[in-house]
Amino acid sequence: MNITTILIIAVFLLIVGLMVSDKINAVVALPLMAVSLCVIVGIPLKTIMNDVVGGGISGLSGAIFSTLIAAILGEVIRKTGIAEKLIRSAAELGGDNPYIMAILCFLACAFCFIGLSGVGAKIMLGLIVFPIMLSVGVPKVIAAFVMLAGTSIGYFMNVARWTFIGNLVGLEATDPLVKNTAIMVIIPGIIISILLIAAGIKIKGPVFSWAAKRGNSEGGKDVPLYAVLAPVIPLLLVLILKWNVNTALIIGIIYAVLTTQWKNKFKGVLDLVNKSAYDGFANVAVTVVLMMGIGMVLAAAKQEALLEPIKTLLMGIVPTSPLPVILLFGVAGPFLTMYRGPLNPWGLGAALIGILLTTSLPIGLIVTLAWLYDYYVAVNDPTASQVTWACGYLQLTVGKYTRGTFLIDAVFVLTGVIMAVAFFMI
């Protein structure tokens, strides 16, 4: 191991340590890592500024544009009352049974997030489902998990998320590998999540907590039932008609507007769309900046001077046979995403995922890892914004929540890795 490789490892560990200790956040850490690693291997300043920083900012432009359009769709769905209509319809079916109520809220959150995205949308759903679940005795840890896991399960069928995962591994959003791996892991994800919900309520028993006052939607409350299809319209257009993701998202916005605003003769529609764009962009601003940082890291990883020493290092570390792959990525992997760890795809993991593409690991396995770690972070990472918000709203410590969910959710990741190994390595 030469001095260059040692310095690369040292800088990587230093930035990981700074993130874990909350000295810097991912918005700062990603560009810092991209530039620092390039400097270590002697890449010219002009190349760093033009190709890594300048080019990297737009490296995930496809995912960024899809995220922005999806943010408008999410705000339209929220402001017109479509999401609230769906959640409350599910709640009416659940009655006073905490098991049925929690599972229906979980499925409703997942359905909504086929079209919604962002922390703001998760908070909006939390404000609706938390009082409903608490009023029938769902324990707080399970209530938080229902919203966090439900919304993250929905991402597997979210075409804007397909674009992000695809960009992360160098594929188009409509590439069959992106879609098929998402479908493959969503099934065990739903099953394991429902088992955790049922077991959590059974073990803890119905717990009747305070219930916050239920808010009202900003738009009209009289939402026709067919309007709740708005979240899945883009998905259907991409899957069935093979339309472009961004086009499909725009049609989803138009459908949501047409099905909810015709009763008032479309009065104020332009204001609705404009405000949805403004609020939607604000909700995903940090996500977009993170994508820019991820793009810089990926651009740095593609520089030959940096790629070669890292590739040589990984060749001696990354396993190539099924059992070691399962142990590293399935057993240890989930815990290496926590606290903005090295496998977090919204942090330093973006670089590692990109570099793994240069190894002999099948790309199908790497795409699956990106999906699984994206889910695990969103549901269990104590530093994730939606996790801290949900725990704060429910007056629940983050540590207590994480202790109640992270091991069971790690089983989901392990199951997904085993399935990927079976499909792509054996």
Could you please report the per-residue DSSP string of 163-199? HHHHHHTT--TT-HHHHHHHHHHHHHHHHHHHHHHHH
pLDDT recorded at residue 209 = 55
221 has pLDDT over 70: no
CA distance 98 to 281: 36
Helices 98-112 and 176-204 cross at an angle (nearest 10°) of 160
Query: Which comes out higher in pLDDT, residue 206 or 98?
Result: 98
Whether the Cβ atoms of residue 31 and residue 296 lie closer than 8 Å to each other: yes
Q: How confident is the model at residue 325 (pLDDT cuts 50, 70, 90)?
A: very high
Average pLDDT for the chain: 88
In this structure, of 19-23, 125-129, 174-178, 295-299, the range with the lowest mean pLDDT score is 19-23
pLDDT recorded at residue 13 = 83
pLDDT recorded at residue 5 = 85
CA distance 198 to 142: 9
The stretch 372-383 carries a mean pLDDT of: 92
Q: How confident is the model at residue 205 (pLDDT cuts 50, 70, 90)?
A: low
Q: What does the radius of gyration of the chain's CA atoms come to, in whole angstroms?
A: 22
Neighbours of 303 (CB within 10 A): 18
The stretch 246-269 carries a mean pLDDT of: 90
Report pLDDT digits (tens) over 68-88. Answer: 999 999 899 989 999 888 888
Which contacts of 396-400 are long-range, i.e. CB under 8 A and separated by 24 or more positions? 396/140, 396/141, 396/144, 400/141
Q: How confident is the model at residue 2 (pLDDT cuts 50, 70, 90)?
A: confident
Report pLDDT digits (tens) over 144-173. Answer: 999 999 999 999 999 999 999 999 898 998
CA distances 160 to 99, 166, 354, Å, are: 31, 10, 20
240 has pLDDT over 80: yes
216 has pLDDT over 80: no
Q: How confident is the model at residue 214 (pLDDT cuts 50, 70, 90)?
A: very low
| 199 Cβ contact partners less than 8 Å away, ≥ 6 residues apart | none
Q: How confident is the model at residue 283 (pLDDT cuts 50, 70, 90)?
A: confident
10-19, 21-30, 270-279: which has the highest mean pLDDT?
A: 270-279
pLDDT recorded at residue 17 = 81
